[in-house]
Amino acid sequence: MPATHASRRASQPAVVLVADDDPVMRLLMVEMLESVGLDAIEAADGAQAVALAAERSPDLILLDVEMPHMDGFAACRAIRDAAGGGSVPVVMVTGGDDLEAVTNAYEAGATDFVSKPINWPILGHRVLYVLRASDAIVRLRIADAQNRAVLAAIPDTFFRMSRDGVYLDYEPGRESPGREAPGPEAARRAGEWHDAAAPGAIVGRHVTEVLPREIAERLLEQVAQALQMRQVRSVEYELLHFGESQHFEARLVATGSAEVLGLVRDISERKHAEEQIRRLAYCDSLTGIPNRQAFLEVLERELQRSKIGNKKFAVLFMDLDAFKRINDTLGHDVGDQLLKQVSERLRETIRPSDLMSRGDPIPRAPEDGEAIQGTNLARLGGDEFTILIPDLDRVEHALNVAHRVKDAMRRPFVIEGNEIFVTASIGISLFPEDGDDCTSLLKYADTAMYHAKNCGKNNAKLYSSSLTMQIMSHVKLEVGLRRALQNDELYLLYQPQLDVRSNEIVGVEALVRWRHAERGIVSPTEFIPLAEETGLIVPIGEWVLRTACIQARRWQKLAGRPVRMAVNLSAKQFKDESLSQIVLSALNDTGLDPRLLELELTESTLMDDAKATLATLELLRGIGVYLSIDDFGTGYSSMNYLKRFDVRALKIDRSFISGLPQDSENAAITRAIIAMAHGLKMVVVAEGVETGEQLVLLEEYGCDMVQGFYLGRPAPADAVTGMLQKLWVPMLAK
């Protein structure tokens, strides 16, 4: 096969041999080649392709892999073995693009390969590119200046290298304008990219003189692999390019028994895109710190490392207390700003020694918006954060970190000129004491965190197996409470309220109770907080309201005189937008006079979001119901809000009554509350009256109404009916 391609192409179009047993494919290929200015000859099988290649000396051969008589791989080998057939570029057309197909193509001697289905508009340009690359290799071997100019226009760098790592030829890629290249020795010392010098300064030098030694050694390993395996090998590495970090990929292919051809491509943009994808997958978009997925992977690695090294570590699970209230009252934008500041404060508070395994390097400081690399701090979601403390020597160290974090969270956060105060509850699980898998350790730290919240919040607690039993009991109780309404397990008891001057029962307070199918009577102190926590207090409260109104209406019909019914409202009920409609519906359905319904609210409920409180109170006053403050003296006890909210009555908390008459301080407080309330034209009710002495003393202080065990314990409706009738008979007889 005469080597006359270069001289012929100077005067006429290049000739491409198209070998395919499918006439339609041949026709399409011929038309595609002619559209880009190339001539084509056709072969219907592999044997015919070998014969035409020897006879016509085409400039490039397109070989289909699957052909009769001789497949494409065999035909390619036969062409390469023929005289002069080693230089013609051969492009294999294959139906597979897997590694095996690529390997077989290059082992057969192919220059390149194209996968089916063929992208026809691109194929013609790809053939032209292969022709130019083929010319470049030929011209590199014969030092043809014209072909080097073509290669210089290509952005990739080409080189030939010996088995020993000496550059035999070198053609740098196109340089960006305005950059002054340093010499090769300075580039090597600085770790600069090796195209930073003239080709003449590279040829003949050893790769270790041009590239940093670690990269040069990796490149030499792949050179040996390319020569031994006759496969394309690649190396990715990072270098400084004019002070900027850039990523490159060198692809190597054997061109003989002792030399390789290399192509170096700048893949910085691809690496940047990969890094962006990694950040999206592993970094929290709001705070910039690692997210749940990143933490789980770090936790799994630490778990395996600690198992092998027989080490201990701790998982801290932190949750902000009452974060939902901030979102609800100040808005989600403020909540997001708070979470950002919380993450920053965690970064500042947690020391590198808390987060790193022994011997790990200290991570560099993050840039703006950049996630901390190599640390074990993460945001799981919402207001939940986790911290992994490796190589734990003592449990006290984990507790110290937790308390340090907890104290840091108590300092005010300044957002939009306002100070916001939050606290944090932290749970801690330990490996291997509490679990030996990631799921258990994270779950148990979460369980301990909820235990810390139940212990008063702003707390840190270690996990113990008994907590799981408590949680299971808690969950079981919640399930039972959800079914309590539909199973008629809830019922009401009523406690009389006595007018001190007339000694008549003028009202009763409705108290909800729960008769559990298995446990029996469940204390209100146990299920009421659970109902508040789960939101069940709203439907339960509505049921209590309706049931109490029905009973009050029955007593009113029986007695022929008014008896006020007092019903407690929880904070969640009070904030329910449909509260006024629920109250109106209960009154309309039962026919109860609104003035005979007393709604009791706590001080904390009234003080939370004063603007909304005033609006709700105005709606309730418009309905005509009687409003009172329950447990007065245990909350804010503010004269200012008493004036603003204009309630009808207040109930002195039982804690002040229980010490009477012996406790002089409680006596003074009780007298002061009564005097203050009367000054504001409010009725005073004393709760928890248990002795006759207390009743006498309260009458002396001018208290208006009393209730407590001395007058009557909470009792079913029938029992209270009997008490009411005894007091009503004399009045009815008049």
Q: What is the pLDDT of residues 400-417, one digit of tens each?
A: 999 999 999 999 999 988
Question: What is the three-class DSSP state of 436?
Answer: coil
CB atoms closer than 10 angstroms to residue 594: 16
Task: For residue range 674-693, list pLDDT tens digits in order.
Answer: 998 998 889 999 999 999 99
- Cβ-Cβ contacts under 8 Å for 537 (sequence gap 6 or more): 528, 531, 570, 572, 573
At residue 615, the pLDDT reads: 84
Q: Is the pLDDT of residue 530 over 90?
A: no
Relative to beta strand 520-522, strand 505-516 is antiparallel
Place of tokens 């709760």: 687
Relative to beta strand 39-43, strand 15-19 is parallel
- Do 103 and 228 touch, CB atoms closer than 8 A? no
196: tokens are 């930073």
At 11, is the pLDDT very low, low, confident or very high (cuts 50, 70, 90)?
low
Class of domain 5-138: alpha beta
How far apart (Å, rounded) are the C-alpha atoms in residues 536 and 485?
Answer: 10
Task: For residue range 63-76, list pLDDT tens digits in order.
Answer: 998 888 898 899 99
Pick the CATH number of 283-360+369-463 from 3.30.70.270, 3.40.50.1260, 3.30.310.50, 3.10.150.10: 3.30.70.270
Q: Is the pLDDT of residue 149 over 70?
A: no
How far apart (Å, rounded) are the C-alpha atoms in residues 397 and 387?
Answer: 13
Q: Is the pLDDT of residue 187 over 80?
A: no
How far apart (Å, rounded) are the C-alpha atoms in residues 289 and 254?
Answer: 46
Average pLDDT, the chain: 83
- Cβ-Cβ contacts under 8 Å for 642 (sequence gap 6 or more): 629, 650, 680, 682
At residue 379, the pLDDT reads: 92
- Do 645 and 613 touch, CB atoms closer than 8 A? yes
Q: Is the pLDDT of residue 28 over 70?
A: yes
At residue 733, the pLDDT reads: 31
Q: How many residues does the chain have?
A: 734
- Do 287 and 278 touch, CB atoms closer than 8 A? no
At 196, is the pLDDT very low, low, confident or very high (cuts 50, 70, 90)?
very low
Query: Any idea which of 150-164, 202-216, 288-302 has the lowest mean pLDDT?
Result: 150-164
Relative to beta strand 377-381, strand 705-706 is unpaired
Nearest of 28, 92, 29, 91 to residue 60 by alpha carbon: 91
Q: Is the pLDDT of residue 3 over 50?
A: no
408: tokens are 């840091």
Task: For residue range 553-600, list pLDDT tens digits in order.
Answer: 998 888 777 889 999 998 888 888 888 999 999 999 999 999 999 999
Q: Is the pLDDT of residue 219 over 60?
A: yes
What does the DSSP 8-state code read for residue 87? S
How far apart (Å, rounded) are the C-alpha atoms in residues 2 and 8?
Answer: 11
Q: Is the pLDDT of residue 363 over 70?
A: no
Find the mean pLDDT for residues 644-658. Answer: 85
Task: For residue range 266-276, list pLDDT tens digits in order.
Answer: 888 888 887 77
| DSSP H helix total and E strand total for the chain | 30, 26
At 552, is the pLDDT very low, low, confident or very high (cuts 50, 70, 90)?
very high
Higher pLDDT, 329 or 45: 45
How far apart (Å, rounded) are the C-alpha atoms in residues 362 and 368?
Answer: 18
Q: Is the peptide bond before 117 cis (omega within 30 degrees of 0)?
A: yes
Task: For residue range 239-287, list pLDDT tens digits in order.
Answer: 876 667 888 899 999 998 899 999 998 888 888 887 777 777 788 889 9
Strand partners, 206: 166
At 96, is the pLDDT very low, low, confident or very high (cuts 50, 70, 90)?
low
How far apart (Å, rounded) are the C-alpha atoms in residues 373 and 513?
Answer: 55
Where are the extended beta strands (E) located within 348-393? 377-381, 384-389
In percent, the amount of the chain with pLDDT more than 90 equals: 38
How far apart (Å, rounded) are the C-alpha atoms in residues 31 and 40?
Answer: 9
C-alpha distances in Å from residue 675, one per residue of 663, 681, 698: 19, 10, 12
Nearest of 72, 9, 79, 8 to residue 46 by alpha carbon: 72
What is the rounded (10 degree) CA torsion for 128, 134, 138, 143? 60
Task: For residue range 596-643, list pLDDT tens digits in order.
Answer: 999 998 877 777 666 777 888 888 888 999 988 887 876 555 566 677
Place of tokens 């932290």: 426
- Do 635 and 664 touch, CB atoms closer than 8 A? no
Fold agreement (5-138, 477-733): no
- Do 413 and 379 touch, CB atoms closer than 8 A? no
In percent, the amount of the chain with pLDDT more than 70 equals: 85
At residue 630, the pLDDT reads: 85
At residue 730, the pLDDT reads: 36
Relative to beta strand 90-94, strand 233-241 is unpaired
Fold for the domain defined by 154-273: Beta-Lactamase (3.30.450)
Domain ranges of the chain: 5-138, 154-273, 283-360+369-463, 477-733
Q: In this structure, what are the phi and psi dihedrals at residue 550, rounded to the nearest 5 degrees?
A: -60, -45
Place of tokens 């439907």: 539
At residue 195, the pLDDT reads: 43
How far apart (Å, rounded) are the C-alpha atoms in residues 455 and 131?
Answer: 78
Find the mean pLDDT for residues 195-210. Answer: 74
At 732, is the pLDDT very low, low, confident or very high (cuts 50, 70, 90)?
very low
How far apart (Å, rounded) are the C-alpha atoms in residues 136 and 150?
Answer: 7
Q: Is the peptide bond before 661 cis (omega within 30 degrees of 0)?
A: yes
Strand partners, 320: 424
- Do 540 and 512 touch, CB atoms closer than 8 A? yes
The domain defined by 477-733 carries CATH number 3.40.50.300: no
How far apart (Å, rounded) are the C-alpha atoms in residues 113 and 77?
Answer: 15
At residue 706, the pLDDT reads: 94
